[in-house]
Amino acid sequence: MSATIEDTPPDEVAGAPVLTLEGVVKRFGDVVAVAGISFDIARREFFSLLGPSGCGKTTTLRMLAGFETPSEGRILLEGRDASRLAPHERDTNMVFQSYALFPHMTVAQNVAFGPQRKRLARGEIERRVGASLAAVHLEGYAKRYPRELSGGQQQRVALARALANQPAVLLLDEPLGALDLKLREEMQFELKRIQREVGISFVYVTHDQGEALTMSDRIAVMNGGVVEHLGTPEEIYLRPATLFVAGFIGQTSFLPCRVVALDPTGAEVRLRGGEAVRVDRSGEGVHSDMDGMLVVRPEHVRLSSGAPPPGRPTIAVRVQEELFQGSVVRYQLAARDGLTIAALVPLEERADVHPGDDAWASWLPDWGYLLPGRPPSEPPSPDAPDGATGPMGA
């Protein structure tokens, strides 16, 4: 199941980043859509902006494209300040969520539109159109009209149209949103393949964390107009920087606790129900004698009846629900003091516990993660916030 995370390391890139944001802020009247973000995007990188609706990712993309101007800060494209350039003056191209194909033009005319605006020679235009259509596997469709194509085909034409301009950066605004699940998964692989072949940096906006984890070299998780965590899919999944990121990516159980002691090998925490637990890994900002949050993913939790397994963090739970989901079994567990934990156990490791039983929930110390807790007035729910879907498929 974890094979969906990109397992080939991103291309090492020598040289300057192709796109840089410095302190970019965007205000619409009184509303602050983007509250100051700075990052680089490297050449040949598949970079995703991930976050829930309203987090500012689309606004950021539009600023990169030139449809919005930053209220503060700069955008550097290939080293030059592009913050105030109009869209047609930038070396970027965008794939729109609604595809925005010109209905009165054929596929070929759509794809040729950009090169024609650049006043390229006719032969070069034809060559580029052919190459772009070939890259998206739509060679025979040149003379069709957009209304004659399926949603997936239209999406590929939109991509070909953008690629034909050979931009330095390709911007994609939730391009797979309108497709059904199966098609979406196919297209994810397609997009990744095309990006590799063409060698252009992609900036990809999505609210689907599974999609981002599958395709990206790096992900910027945004929330409320800021970037909460910028890192590779693995980093984000295994070592989330904030509680929001922990909850937004994958499925998570949150265990409020008190950090008792912290040393180079790990931390001692006391859970709300009184259990003492050891955690080997922690994030930034954790120190002793503070409120913390222990973050555990359901797929790392195991159940056992009888005696608690030695050498592992363990808490006593009562089984509330047991749901058979094919290759895994999902348990809903109630711990002391009203806490709820989820466990996702592979079928072959299933324990003989059922709803109503008392059991022990444990996990390897490596798989728990400690983050600074929220203030007491804001207890997070043990369920993931909206928008998060498990990469394992629930």
Partner 1 sequence: MAAEPLELGRPGDTPALRLPSAADERRPPGTSRWATGARWTFLVVVMLILYGPLIVLALFSLNDSIVIALPFKGFTLEWYREAVSNGLVRESIKNSLAVAFVVTPISLLLGTMAAFATTRFRYRGRGGVAALTGGPLVVPWLLVGVGALLFFARLDVPLNLRTIGAMHVVVAFPLVAAIVSARLVRFDSSLEEAARDLGATNREVLRYIVLPHLVPALAAASILAFSYSFNNFVISFFVGGFELTFPIWVFSTLRHAQNVPIVNAISTLVSIVQVVVVGVAWRLWRRRSDRTAATNEAAELLW
Partner 2 sequence: MVAAATHEGRARRRVAGPLYAALPTLVLIALFVGPMVILLYYSFQRYSLGGIGGWTFDNYTSIATDHTYAKVMVSTIVICTVSMVIMLAIGIPLAYILAFRTKPKYELLLLLTLVMAEELNPLIRIYAWRMILGRGGVINWFLQAIGVIDQPIDALLFSSTAVVIVLSTTYISFTTIPIYAALKAVDPDLLEAADDLGATFLTRFRTILMPLAAPGIFVAIILVYIPLYSEFAAPALVGGTGGYMIGNAIQEAILESGNRGVGSAMSFMLLVLSGAIAFLGYRAARIRRLQAT
Instruction: Name the site residues for partner 2 (rule: CB under 8 A).
Output: 66-67, 69, 84-87
CB nearer to partner 1: pick between 18 and 345: 18
Whole-angstrom distance, CA of residue 336 vs CA of residue 23: 45
Collapsing DSSP to helix, strand or coil, 342 comes out as: strand
> Which listed residue (51, 52, 56, 66) binds partner 1 by CB under 8 A?
66
Neighbours of 30 (CB within 10 A): 5
Instruction: Reduce the DSSP state of residue 343 to 3 states and report it.
Output: strand
Q: Which residues 132-191 are close enough to bind partner 1 by CB under 8 A?
A: 145, 147-151, 161-162, 165, 178
Q: How many CB atoms lie within 10 A of CB 136?
A: 21
Least distance (Å) between residue 80 CB and partner 1: 18
**DSSP 8-state assignment for residue 88:** G
**Least separation in angstroms between CB 137 and partner 1:** 18
Contacted entry of partner 2, partner 1, none for residue 314, CB cut-off 5 to 8 Å set by kind: none
Q: Report helix, strand or coil for 269.
A: strand
C-alpha span between 236 and 48 (Å, rounded): 12
Q: How far is CA 327 from CA 63, 174, 214, 220, 347, in A?
A: 44, 30, 21, 31, 6
Nearer to partner 1, 65 or 136 (CB): 65
3-state SS class at 312: coil
Q: Which is nearer to partner 2, 81 or 352 (CB)?
A: 81
Among partner 2, partner 1, none, partner that 100 touches (CB below 5 to 8 angstroms by kind): partner 1
Among 223, 222, 206, 225, which residue's Cα sits nearest to residue 214? Answer: 206
| Binding-site partner at residue 85 among partner 2, partner 1, none, CB < 5 to 8 Å by type | partner 2
Beta bridge partners of 34: 26
Residues in the chain: 394
Gap between the Cα atoms of 78 and 43, Å rounded? 10
- Minimum CB separation from partner 2 for residue 20, in Å? 19
- Cβ–Cβ < 8 Å for 43, 213: no
Q: Give whichever of 161 and 312 is closer to partner 1, judged by the CB atom.
A: 161
Q: Minimal distance in Å, beta carbon 69 to partner 2?
A: 5
Q: Which of partner 2, partner 1, none does 39 bind, CB closer than 5 to 8 A by kind?
A: none
CB 132 within 8 A of CB 111: yes
Q: With CB cut-offs between 5 and 8 Å by kind, which of partner 1, partner 2, none does residue 148 bind? A: partner 1
Contacts of 283 (CB under 8 A, 6+ apart): 239, 240, 241, 242, 369, 370, 371, 372
List the Cα angle 260/262/265 in 5-degree steps. Answer: 135
60 binds partner 1 (CB under 8 A): no
Binder of partner 1 out of 80, 118, 122, 196 (CB under 8 A): 118
Q: 101 or 271: whose CB is closer to partner 2?
A: 101
**Of partner 2, partner 1, none, which one does residue 346 interact with (CB within 5 to 8 Å by kind)?**
none
Q: Which of 150, 155, 140 is nearest to 100 (CA)?
A: 155
Q: Which is nearer to partner 2, 67 or 324 (CB)?
A: 67
Q: How far is it, in rounded angstroms, from Cα 281 to Cα 363?
A: 13
- For the segment 244-263, give every residue that binds partner 1 (CB under 8 A): none
Residue 15, SS3? coil
Please, what is the minimum distance in Å from the beta carbon of residue 67 to partner 1?
6
Q: Which stretch binds partner 1 (CB under 8 A): 97-105, 209-217, 299-307, 349-357?
A: 97-105
**CB of residue 87 vs partner 2: minimum separation in angstroms?**
5
In contact, 147 and 71? CB cutoff 8 Å? no
> Could you tell me the smallest distance in angstroms from the CB atom of residue 353 to partner 2?
49
Q: Which one, 35 or 120, has the nearer CB to partner 1?
A: 120
In the complex, the smallest distance separating the C-beta of residue 331 from partner 1, rounded to whole angstroms, is: 40
User: Using CB under 8 A, which of 87, 285, 346, 379 touches partner 1?
Assistant: 87
Q: Which residues bind partner 1 (CB under 8 A)?
A: 65-67, 86-88, 92-94, 96, 98, 100-104, 113-114, 117-118, 145, 147-151, 161-162, 165, 178
